């Protein structure tokens, strides 16, 4: 362990992210009152997803501080295989999982524009896009985990 203070600081950041997520999702929490009565209900779900994404990024930053600077796994030679790369891949996979519906809609709209597909996508196209996204998210998360663990083990 290179710097115990940095390990504690990273743990404190992770604890803060977990506490923030618990506080934001406590039962009975009322968000800000809508400006107008016509505010769609969907915006509450989107706000909660952004809150979750922010907490995940904060927790990943805390894990990065604890692992890279506290334990001493940062790459002094400037090689591309670092714990930061693994954590960023895992955070990207988790953020993609949170916003998967919006990303799927964008993919289908882009596919319709580029390849001249029908605008209301067929159910088979939607399922294929969903399964492709699941496979890519899983692959991205596992590769990030393997990268981080390999750097921690072989340091």
Of 14-18, 77-81, 94-98, minimum mean pLDDT range: 77-81
Mean pLDDT of 112-130: 80
CA within 13 Å, CB half, 65: 17
pTM: 0.56
Please tell me the distance from the alpha carbon of residue 47 to that of residue 87, in angstroms, as a whole number: 24
CB-count burial class (<10 Å; 0-12, 13-18, 19+) for 108: middle
Confidence check: pLDDT of 155 > 50:
yes
Q: pLDDT averaged over the chain?
A: 76
User: Among candidates 100, 19, 26, 89, which has minimal Cα distance to 60?
Assistant: 89
pLDDT value for 41: 47
- Where does the pLDDT of residue 109 fall: very low under 50, low under 70, confident under 90, or very high at 90 and above? confident
pLDDT in tens, 137-149: 899 889 888 888 8
Q: For residue 64, give the 3-state DSSP assignment.
A: helix
∠ Cα 16 103 105 (to 5°): 140
CA distances from 32 to 25, 29, 36, 40, 46 (A): 14, 10, 12, 13, 14
The encoded tokens of residue 29 equal 């929490």
Confidence check: pLDDT of 46 > 70:
yes
- Where does the pLDDT of residue 79 fall: very low under 50, low under 70, confident under 90, or very high at 90 and above? low
* DSSP assignment letter at 111: H
């Amino acid at each position: 362990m290179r710097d115990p203070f940095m390990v504690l600081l990273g743990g404190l950041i992770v604890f803060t992210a977990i506490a923030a997520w618990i506080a934001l999702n406590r039962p009975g929490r009322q968000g800000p009152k809508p400006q107008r009565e016509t505010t769609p209900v969907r915006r509450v779900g989107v706000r909660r997803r952004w809150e979750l994404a922010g907490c995940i990024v904060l927790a990943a930053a805390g894990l990065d501080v604890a692992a890279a600077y506290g334990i001493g796994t940062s790459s002094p030679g400037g090689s591309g295989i670092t714990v930061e790369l693994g954590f960023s891949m895992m955070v990207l996979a988790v953020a993609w999982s949170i916003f998967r519906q919006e990303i799927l809609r964008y993919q289908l709209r882009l596919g319709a524009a580029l390849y001249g597909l029908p605008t209301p996508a067929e159910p088979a196209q939607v399922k294929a896009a969903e399964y492709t996204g699941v496979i890519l998210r899983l692959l991205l998360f596992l590769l990030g985990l393997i990268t981080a663990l390999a750097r921690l083990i072989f340091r």
